[in-house]
Amino acid sequence: MSPTERSLPMDPVRWFSIPQARFAIGEVVRHRLLDFRGVIFDVDPEFANSDEWYEAIPESIRPAKDQPFYHLLAENAESSYVAYVSQQNLVPDESDEPIDHPAIGTMFDSFDGERYRLRPEHRH
């Protein structure tokens, strides 16, 4: 055995793939399958909700957990609410319309037609 081989650890180093977020805080997005849209206010690098919430999604459309999940101030034709959506189920919203959600003003300053600007107290 060479000196180099002896200095290597017994267990190989494992490289973990960290999913890359395609969307950013303040972006307006639309659900790919369901009829709602929203503005992103937080991102989890992978699923970080309860198992109960996850199991409630029909198995035929249940997304993988190992991808970014986004917290949205969401709206549909009937109401506004907070949604938690996998990256695979989001697409950019091309409407240039603002989101009508009562919490927008608490998190964001303005809307430029594409994205919302996060209020200074929420930036870090």
pLDDT-based confidence at residue 11 (cuts at 50, 70, 90): very low
Contacts 24+ apart (CB under 8 A), 62-65: 63/88, 63/89, 64/88
The per-residue pLDDT for 31 is 97
Looking at the predicted structure, is the pLDDT value of residue 28 above 80? yes
The per-residue pLDDT for 124 is 75
In angstroms, the CA 90 to CA 38 distance is 10
Q: Containing H/E element for 55? A: helix 51-55
The per-residue pLDDT for 71 is 98
pLDDT digits (tens, 9 = 90+) for 58-98: 999 999 999 999 999 999 999 999 999 999 999 999 999 99
Domains for the chain: give ranges and CATH numbers: 21-122 (2.30.30.390)
